[in-house]
Amino acid sequence: MIEDSEHRRLRELLGSYALSALPPDVAPALVAHLDGCATCRAELAEIAPLADDLRGVDPDRLSDLATPPAGLGVQIRTAVAEERSLVDARAARLARRTARAGQRRAFLAVAGGVVVLAAGIGLGAAVNRDPRPVLPVALPSSSPSATVPIESLTLEGTSPSSPQVQTAGLIPHTWGVEVRMVGTGFAAGETFRAAFRSRDGRLLPAGEFLGTGEKTLTCNMQAALLRPDTVNFVIMDASGAPVLTTDLPAAA
């Protein structure tokens, strides 16, 4: 996963989250991030056992303040620079793997009956002319015999250069919502972010992906937000500007 500024900001909150000290309006965003970030989940698992020990510390009983050893600042900056190099190298490898796997994932998704986006309609055209029918969709191979309802979505571009889409599906889960899609026209190498908006106005991250240009792109985007509380889905470019968006009807 590319460690951008938003990822770093949420990562810095892991300590407070382990101590149950995050403000109520901040915790949901971190929980949603943890749902899709294995790196942060692993780091949280490492620091969580320290929470009980830290809660037992009484600062009034500390008579002397600890003095950091000489050269600690230089060591920290060096370690940070080395970690940044490793992160950049992992990001480059991920970008190459994503580009190579784009077409393979698209084929597997279509073969498995996943409702997706693809090229073929112009700006602002409806993904499905029917009024959001409910269709069955195959779940991943871990539960091959199960099906869940899926809502057809209508995605609208925000400019003539918006990516081209064919179809998309919203899947309600017990833990949140998921959009499955395939499309083209996402600028090659550029980062795109997806998010769901809740009834109370919060914008919950649903993952990010790298554009593959004219090559077919397949994505599954998820957030820990229940379907009745979901009112909008949006895909944004790296600057945060919407490129595709849709309002969702009230859940039945």
Q: pLDDT 10s digit of each residue in the chain, 252 long?
A: 445 788 888 888 888 888 888 888 888 888 998 888 888 898 888 888 887 777 666 666 666 666 777 777 788 888 888 888 888 788 778 777 776 666 565 555 544 443 333 333 333 333 333 444 444 444 444 444 445 678 999 888 999 889 988 889 999 998 999 999 989 999 999 999 999 999 999 999 999 999 999 999 989 999 999 999 999 999 999 999 999 999 998 876
Residues 175 and 165: their CA atoms lie apart, in Å, by 27
State which H helix or E strand residue 40 sits in.
helix 38-47
Largest CA distance in the chain: 72
Using alpha carbons only, give the angle 93, 98, 101 rounded to the nearest 5 degrees. Answer: 125
**40 with 11: CB under 8 angstroms?**
yes
pLDDT value of residue 65: 61
Fold held by 108-247: Immunoglobulin-like (2.60.40)
Burial category of 47 from C-beta neighbours within 10 Å (exposed 0-12, middle 13-18, buried 19 and up): middle
pLDDT value of residue 55: 66
Fold held by 5-67: Arc Repressor Mutant, subunit A (1.10.10)
CA 241 to chain centre: 16
Helix (H, G, I), strand (E, B) or coil at 55: helix
Q: Which of 128, 81, 102 has the alpha carbon at shortest distance from 192?
A: 102
* Residue extents of the structural domains in the chain: 5-67, 108-247
188 CB-side CA count, 13 A: 9
Q: Residue 215 corresponds to which tokens in the numbers above?
A: 């090559």
pLDDT value of residue 132: 44
The residues, ordered by sequence, that sit 6+ positions from 201 with a Cβ below 8 Å of its Cβ are none
- Terminal-residue alpha carbon distance, the chain: 36
Buried b (16+ CB within 10 A) or exposed e, 211-225: bbeeebbbbbbbbbb
